Chain A
Amino acid sequence: MILKVIGLLVCLLGWLIAVSSVEVSGVYAQLVVALAGFIVAGVGALVIVNRAHLQDAIWKS
């Protein structure tokens, strides 16, 4: 459960990072920050939250 919550928080963190790109100067720096935020959000969902579910997957029982 805790891992799932952490994963969701990482998702939200990724969104915050991406949105913070509006405050960065230089369009290519903005691109990097926005992309980083997207990737962090993806890691939260596909890695952390998913790993929490895989820990007690039905095929492991």
Chain B
Amino acid sequence: MMVRINRARYRIVTLVFGLLAGAWVVTSSIALAQAPTEAAPAPAAAAAPAAPPVPITTADIKGLSGPAAADLAKGDPGGTSTGTVGDIPVSDTKAGLTLADVVNTVGQNRIAANFIWTLVTGYLVMFMQAGFAAVETGLCRAKNANHTFMMNFMVYGWGLFAYWVMGFALQQGGSAGNTNLGGLNSLNSEFTLNFLGGKPWGLFGQRGFFLSGATYDVGVAVMFLFQMVFMDTAATIVTGAAAERWKFAAFSISSVTLAAITYPLYANWAWGGGWTSQLGANYGLGHGYCDFAGSGVVHAVGGISALAVSMIIGPRIGKYSRDGRPHPMPGHDMTMVLIGCFILAFGWFGFNPGSTLGASGNGNLRIGLIAVNTMLAGCTGSIASLLYMWIRFGKPDASMAGNGLLAGLVAITAPSGFVNTVGAAIIGFAAGMLVCFSVEFIERVIKVDDPVGAISVHGTCGLWGVISVGLFADGTSNYGGSWNNVDGSVKGLFYGDPSQLVAQLIGCATLMGIIFTLAYVLNWLVDVVVGQRVGAATELAGLDLPEMGALGYPEFQLVSAGLGRSLEVAND
């Protein structure tokens, strides 16, 4: 039970808190933008011109050899004899070691390091599915535990299949040129139309269906895995907003449409060389739409799709009384929610730093900074939400603290590769506040039922993350000297480039205008064909038995607080 404090005291405390937070944001931002630069060092006295470099040749490495076989047979506890010139593959044993052998090994080692980095971070993101499942199930009632967890479980299967069939091709089919992963040169066909000013607008890719033909490639496979787990994050977001009344069949079809169509289109436009990414190259808007790891592409797409589905499906029975007043429907396991949040925070170390798609070359050593930005934003997000709830309602609410952590992580996802740690902390703090306001707005003002706050965490804070790139990007990152075919580093409004914010706002408008419409139409079709919502009797009894055929907690007798008796199974 939340305790309401004296209204006047609440208003004063909230005003002071808001003013302090706002002042911190403004002064920190001004300080960031006006940070004094160090004076340029005095020029050194003119030195004698350096001798021209002498190129090394195969002759220079002739005769080099590794440890003798007899020495290797003695073992190498110190590691000094392992990893030597003897370990370099020789292409022609008759010719022996050549310079080409050495150079090829350097190249392969760089790509191998990037493959390992991208794959391992992709595995972390895949594990986030468990985190989402725990958070959503914990925030729902026990009678729906099996159903809610199964939606998060099967979204992996449905989504992966649809993405393999066509989603990846639509998204990345025209994205050849990634030097971190060996070039991905077989992904070389993008459908374009000329639009505004006769500029080419990339709309979708045309290579990579079933990963067949020339896209049966080691580099493409790495890219597929990494991009797929991001897509699945977007797909799983919708299950939270529609939980407790979504038919499993409708969820299955809806997830396939998101994986096959909705997500890949926006991801192509942002990451696959499509039109939003080229707003800079075509129209001089900063570096085009920039979204480092997917506040917009993943989280806002998921959150806005969730908004569309929640509108179509309607609120849970009992959520609103006849006068439109909302009633709380607490979840059944806060410990599951919080451990789910920790799993998500852990997985986010793959989500953001992994989006460099490599650890070697092209400025990828920024991965440590990206990870720290991620941690900081999550931290300040949870603090902001906790303090807001504590001051307003007198108790440190666990579910909002968890949602605040997630809000900060969502918001930092887009700017993580472009901002400094102060910017990251501000972005996360603002997200933690924003999610609290958004939850109340969505529940009380527009009266959309969202059992887990997915629309606020991922939709609202995803949009904030997109906008924050246009504000806080500090111009110090250097990913190979350019981004989205525009030379130089990404800079936001506070660092001197307001045009970047224009590109970000166009991205936001695309999310609300195109993606919402597309998600709404596709889910309306699902509603017409199979029906999105379960029947009333099923909803009241709980979805576990009628939809899934088994209870999530079969050894416990579930009693509805409202009915005051055991729940009965309904068949409809």
For B501, list chain A residues within 8 Å (CB): 31
Question: A23, B196: Cβ atoms under 8 Å?
Answer: yes
CA distance A44 to B509 in the complex (A): 11
- Measured CB to CB, the nearest residue on chain A to B326 is A59
- Measured CB to CB, the nearest residue on chain B to A23 is B196
For A54, list chain B residues within 8 Å (CB): 447
CA distance A45 to B315 in the complex (A): 17
Q: Kindly state whether residue B166 has any CB partner on chain A within 8 Å.
A: no
Question: B513, A57: Cβ atoms under 8 Å?
Answer: no
Question: What 1/0 mask marks residues of chain A from 34 to 61 whose CB sits below 8 Å from any chain B CB?
Answer: 1101100110111101100110011110
Question: B315, A50: Cβ atoms under 8 Å?
Answer: no
Binds A, one of B17-25, B412-420, B516-524: B516-524
Question: B320, A57: Cβ atoms under 8 Å?
Answer: yes
Question: A18, B517: Cβ atoms under 8 Å?
Answer: no
Q: How far, in Å, is A31 (CB) from chain B's closest CB?
A: 6
State how many residues of chain B have any CB contact under 8 Å with chain A.
38
Question: B499, A12: Cβ atoms under 8 Å?
Answer: no
CA distance A13 to B7 in the complex (A): 42
In B277-324, which residues have CB < 8 Å from any A CB?
279, 282-283, 285, 304, 307-308, 311-312, 314-315, 317, 319-322, 324
Question: A19, B311: Cβ atoms under 8 Å?
Answer: no
Question: B196, A19: Cβ atoms under 8 Å?
Answer: yes
State how many residues of chain A have any CB contact under 8 Å with chain B.
36
Question: A27, B516: Cβ atoms under 8 Å?
Answer: no
Give the A-B pair count, Cβ closer than 8 A: 107
Q: Quick one: given A15-B509, A22-B279, A59-B324, are A45 and B516 in contact (CB under 8 Å)? A: yes
Question: A38, B509: Cβ atoms under 8 Å?
Answer: yes
For B513, list chain A residues within 8 Å (CB): 11-16, 18, 37, 41, 44
Question: What 1/0 mask marks residues of chain B from 163 to 195 whose CB sits below 8 Å from any chain A CB?
Answer: 000000000000000000000000000000000
CA distance A27 to B517 in the complex (A): 28
For A37, list chain B residues within 8 Å (CB): 505-506, 509, 513
The winner among A11, A17, A28, A38 for most chain B CB atoms within 10 A is A38
Contact of B446 among A12, A18, A35, A46 (CB under 8 A): A46
For B317, list chain A residues within 8 Å (CB): 58
Q: How far, in Å, is B123 (CB) from chain A's closest CB?
A: 36
For B499, list chain A residues within 8 Å (CB): 27, 30
For B99, list chain A residues within 8 Å (CB): none
Q: How far, in Å, is A28 (CB) from chain B's closest CB?
A: 7
Question: A41, B516: Cβ atoms under 8 Å?
Answer: yes
Q: How far, in Å, is A38 (CB) from chain B's closest CB?
A: 4
In B141-180, which residues have CB < 8 Å from any A CB?
none
Q: How far, in Å, is B73 (CB) from chain A's closest CB?
A: 69
CA distance A41 to B520 in the complex (A): 14
Question: A18, B505: Cβ atoms under 8 Å?
Answer: yes
CA distance A8 to B311 in the complex (A): 13
Question: A31, B505: Cβ atoms under 8 Å?
Answer: yes
CA distance A53 to B13 in the complex (A): 37
Question: A34, B509: Cβ atoms under 8 Å?
Answer: yes
- Measured CB to CB, the nearest residue on chain B to A61 is B322
Question: B446, A50: Cβ atoms under 8 Å?
Answer: yes
For B322, list chain A residues within 8 Å (CB): 59-60
For A11, list chain B residues within 8 Å (CB): 512-514, 516-517
Q: How far, in Å, is B377 (CB) from chain A's closest CB?
A: 23
- Measured CB to CB, the nearest residue on chain B to A15 is B513
Question: B512, A22: Cβ atoms under 8 Å?
Answer: no
- Measured CB to CB, the nearest residue on chain A to B199 is A22
Q: Kindly state whether residue B376 has any CB partner on chain A within 8 Å.
A: no
Question: B285, A8: Cβ atoms under 8 Å?
Answer: no
Q: Kindly state whether residue B498 has any CB partner on chain A within 8 Å.
A: yes
Question: B520, A15: Cβ atoms under 8 Å?
Answer: no
For B508, list chain A residues within 8 Å (CB): 18, 38
- Give me 8 other A-B pairs in contact (C-beta within 8 A), A18-B506, A38-B512, A60-B322 excluded: A15-B513, A18-B508, A20-B196, A27-B498, A30-B285, A37-B505, A41-B513, A45-B516
Instruction: Report which A residues bind B (CB closer than 8 A).
Output: 8, 11-23, 27-28, 30-31, 34-35, 37-38, 41-42, 44-47, 49-50, 53-54, 57-60
Q: What 9 A-B pairs come out closest when comparing CB atoms?
A: A15-B513, A18-B509, A41-B512, A34-B505, A41-B513, A59-B320, A38-B509, A22-B283, A37-B509
Instruction: Report which B residues bind A (CB closer than 8 A).
Output: 196-197, 279, 282-283, 285, 304, 307-308, 311-312, 314-315, 317, 319-322, 324, 446-448, 498-499, 501-502, 505-506, 508-510, 512-514, 516-517, 520-521
In the assembled complex, 19 residue pairs joining A and B whose CB atoms fall closer than 8 Å, in A order, are A11-B512, A14-B512, A16-B513, A18-B509, A21-B502, A23-B196, A27-B498, A27-B499, A37-B513, A38-B509, A41-B512, A42-B512, A45-B308, A45-B512, A53-B312, A58-B315, A59-B315, A59-B319, A59-B320
